[in-house]
Amino acid sequence: MSLYEGWYRPLGELENHSAYLYDNHNYGISYVVRIATSRPTTEEDVRRVFTLLFRKTINLRMVPAERDGQLWLREMKHHQNIDLQTLLDVDVKAVFEEMARYKYNMNNGPVWAVRFLPLSPKHDDYIRLTTMESADNKLITLPHVSHIVMSFHHSITDGYTCVRIIRHVLMLLNDVIEGNPIDESQQYAQMLDITKQNVIFEDIYRTFSENPDLLKARSKRLDTFFPDALLSQVYEHPSKTLPKIVSLPRILDSITTTKFVERCKEEGVTVHSGFCSVLEASVVKALQDAFLMQDRYPIASRHCVDQRRYFNDATNAYGTALGVLTLTTDVPRDICSNFWSHVKKFHQDFVDELNRMNSMELNILMELTGKNPRFFIDSKGIDSPPPKIATYSTSNMRDVTDILSNFVENVDLLFYDQLTAVQALPILWSSNFQSLNGQLMHSLQYNTQLMEEALAVKIVDSAFEILKEVVEQS
Tell me, yes or no, whether 226 and 155 share the same domain.
no
Domain end position, chosen among 123, 152, 180: 180
- Which stretches of the chain drop beneath a pLDDT of 50? none
Among the listed residues 195, 347, 203, the one whose alpha carbon sits nearest the alpha carbon of residue 269: 347
Query: Can you give the CATH number for the domain in which 18 is found?
Result: 3.30.559.10
Q: Are residues 176 and 225 in the same domain?
A: no
- Residue 227 inside a domain? The answer is yes
Q: What is the pLDDT of residue 335?
A: 98
Q: Which of 250, 360, 252, 287 is nearest to 13 (CA)?
A: 360
Same structural domain, 267 and 141: no
Per residue in 172-190, pLDDT (tens digit) is: 999 999 999 999 999 999 9
Angle of the 453-470 helix axis to the 271-289 helix axis, nearest 10:
120
pLDDT of residue 1: 52
- 3-state secondary structure (DSSP) of residue 354: helix
DSSP label at residue 243: -
In a domain, 203, yes or no: no
Half-sphere exposure for 191 (CA within 13 Å, toward CB)? 20
pLDDT at 270 (0 to 100): 98
Q: Note whether residue 357 is domain-resident.
A: yes
Query: pLDDT for 295-348, tens place per residue?
Result: 999 999 999 999 999 987 788 999 999 999 999 999 999 999 999 999 999 999
67 and 165 fall within a common domain? yes
Helices 271-289 and 254-267: angle between axes, nearest 10 degrees = 110
Counted domains in the chain: 2
| Domain around 86 | 4-180
Residue 2: predicted pLDDT: 67
Which of 124, 149, 180 represents a domain boundary (last residue)? 180
Reference 427, options 232, 235, 201; nearest CA is: 232
Q: Looking at residue 4, what is its pLDDT?
A: 78
Residues 261, 266, 268, 273, CA torsion sign? negative
Cα 416 to Cα 77, 363, 406, distances in angstroms: 30, 33, 14
Q: Are residues 342 and 256 in the same domain?
A: yes
Residue type, 327: L
Residue 323 φ/ψ, nearest 5 degrees: -125, 165
Chain-centre distance for alpha carbon 273:
17
Taking the C-alpha atoms of residue 7 and residue 64, their distance in angstroms, rounded to an integer, is: 10
Over pLDDT 90: what percentage of the chain?
Answer: 93
Helix (H) or strand (E) holding 397: strand 390-399
In 10 A of CB 169, how many CB atoms?
Answer: 24
Q: Tell which of 180, 200, 229 closes a domain.
A: 180
**Cβ atoms of residues 336 and 470 within 8 Å:** yes
Are residue 157 and residue 289 in the same domain, yes or no? no
Tell whether 211 is covered by a domain. Answer: no
- Residues 274 and 348 occupy one common structural domain: yes
Domain at 316, CATH number: 3.30.559.30
Same-domain status, 121 and 66: yes
209 inside domain? no
